[in-house]
Amino acid sequence: MITLFAILTVAIYRYLISLRIPHINRHRNDWFGIKAKATFVARCSELLVEGRKRFGESPFMLTAIFGERLVLPEEWLGWVASHPDLDHQAHVAEEFFGYLPGFEAIAAINDPHAFVISLIKSRMSSMTPSMLKSFREQADNVLAEEFGDDESFHPINWTSACIKLVSHMSASIFVGPELASNAKWQEITLTYTRNMFNACVVLRSWPTPLRRFAVWFIPEGKVCRDQIAEARALVANYLRGNREKLKGTAFEWMDPRADPTTTQLALAMASIHTTSQLLNQALLDIAFAAQDQNHIVSQLREELQGCLESAHGEIGPATLPKLGLLEACIKETQRLKPQTAVNLERMALRSVVLPNGMRIAAGSMVCVNATKMWRQDIWGDDSESWNPSRWAARDSESLATGTKTNTPLLPAGDKLVNSSARHFAFGKGRAICPGRFMVNAELKIALGAILDGWDCRLSESDFATAKATGRNRVDWVPYGFETLVNENVVVEVRRRK
């Protein structure tokens, strides 16, 4: 009874505070927020842009499918990133129920000892030659299977191939090549994240005090628990074998106190979805450019070939930074399609006073509006167009005509792995994405292998649709805060002669 009273008290306090803040998608007589949530799912990015226009540098409330969010202006980016009482880990734990059975991978990410994050920071912030070699071997194997050797254009399931690419490359250093090629392990790591998110959606429809009980009865919760059990059996059997195969993998690097199974699931969950989304969109943008008579693809191949020749045919740690034009393409894709239209999602650990003097309650969820990354007043008239020359030191004309230049690419502050006030897709501050160096390596290896071995294009109808927008790219699909790849777009490939 005391717990219920405390929950109601906090909820009422938050509600009273929210009344003092303008609301972007509240509807009259929408007592259960049904209209507000539907608007959030379908038009969230538009709401964020509208909120900026209406409220300027002031925060505003937004009703999401998972509750109320306080959207903070971009000018507060540094303040949010450095505030000790605004915590990302607490946000993740609360949002994705890391305290419930079946959600142990979330609990692993939020472990107070920071086993997962420390492992990523210490071992995956710099890519070794053996890591890059493993990435290339896995990429070659997947592409040979998914793209084939047909020298005439044929359609492929690019979304499936893309997820498989990232999953196999990541697993090659997370668990090693043997378990990475295990079909059951691949199935679990690819589906656990989706199943967990589905369970979260169902649990959010239950009152907070009942969720600890509901998780045992909803089918989605059982699926997650069963997958955890299956993963434990696979890992236990794998660890009983020859320990030599664990060298150079996360099994060797992780803290001995960490749970090996949930740590591995946490690594997979943190890497596969976001990385495959960026890789997927990057190839769509490059494929569109190739069809649109843009010479950038020939320049990318020229750059790649030069790097391979100077590195005896292999992309090593010293070679990755030299793929500057490819990096500019990825950076531009990420600018236009960050994983979410907000960033720096945080939970207030205690009552916090905002820069404008307003106080928010402990437990409040906040985020920073990220739509400035494609806003016209920041990027110019072509702010919504894909244009890698924003990042490359080459001018627009040289990229369009194929003119050669030895001008260095991407100043240090604009590197893909770096965050800035105008491009913060990886976050900012102490909670910046720790796996961004691995993302950089995987995307360059995968796209390099594709460019080296295949020609890619969009289907005729998909190219025409994208061309008609005048944005030099394939549009993404909105779903709440997320910006998702359009999986209906057909990619066609042919083996290069």
Q: What is the mean pLDDT of the chain?
A: 90
CATH superfamily of 66-495: Cytochrome P450 (1.10.630.10)
Among residues 213, 290, 334, 267, which one has the least CA distance to residue 458?
Answer: 290
Q: Give the DSSP letter of residue 340.
A: B
Report the pLDDT value the prediction gives residue 30, as an integer from 0 to 100.
84
Report the pLDDT value the prediction gives residue 17, as an integer from 0 to 100.
53
Pairing mode of beta strands 67-72, 365-369: parallel
Report the pLDDT value the prediction gives residue 404, as an integer from 0 to 100.
52
- Alpha carbon separation from 17 to 11, 87, 142, 190, 352 (Å, rounded): 10, 20, 53, 41, 12
Report the pLDDT value the prediction gives residue 316, as an integer from 0 to 100.
87
| DSSP of 72-84 | EPGGGHHHHHH-T
Identity of the highest mean pLDDT range in 29-38, 76-85, 286-295:
76-85
Report the pLDDT value the prediction gives residue 408, as an integer from 0 to 100.
47
In sequence order, the β-bridge partners of residue 155 are 492
pLDDT digits (tens, 9 = 90+) for 391-404: 876 444 455 455 55
The span from the CA of 351 to the CA of 353, in Å, is 7
pLDDT digits (tens, 9 = 90+) for 175-189: 998 999 999 999 999
Among residues 98, 138, 94, which one has the least CA distance to residue 228?
Answer: 98
- Dihedral sign, CA of 201, 2, 364, 38? positive
Q: Tokens for 62?
A: 């937004």
Q: Is 425 exposed, middle or buried (0-12, 13-18, 19+ CB in 10 A)?
A: buried
- The reply to whether the predicted model has a pTM over 0.85 is yes
Report the pLDDT value the prediction gives residue 393, as an integer from 0 to 100.
60
The span from the CA of 434 to the CA of 339, in Å, is 15
- Confidence class for position 79, pLDDT limits 50, 70, 90: very high
Report the pLDDT value the prediction gives residue 29, as an integer from 0 to 100.
85
pLDDT digits (tens, 9 = 90+) for 469-494: 999 999 999 999 999 999 999 999 99
pLDDT digits (tens, 9 = 90+) for 125-179: 989 999 999 999 999 999 999 999 999 999 999 999 999 999 999 999 999 989 9
CB of 92 closer than 8 Å to CB of 108: no
pLDDT of 191 strictly over 50: yes
Report the pLDDT value the prediction gives residue 409, as an integer from 0 to 100.
62
Q: Tokens for 241?
A: 């074998």
Report the pLDDT value the prediction gives residue 437, as an integer from 0 to 100.
96
pLDDT digits (tens, 9 = 90+) for 11-36: 554 554 555 799 999 988 888 888 99
Q: Give the DSSP letter of residue 23.
A: B
pLDDT digits (tens, 9 = 90+) for 426-447: 999 888 999 999 999 999 999 9
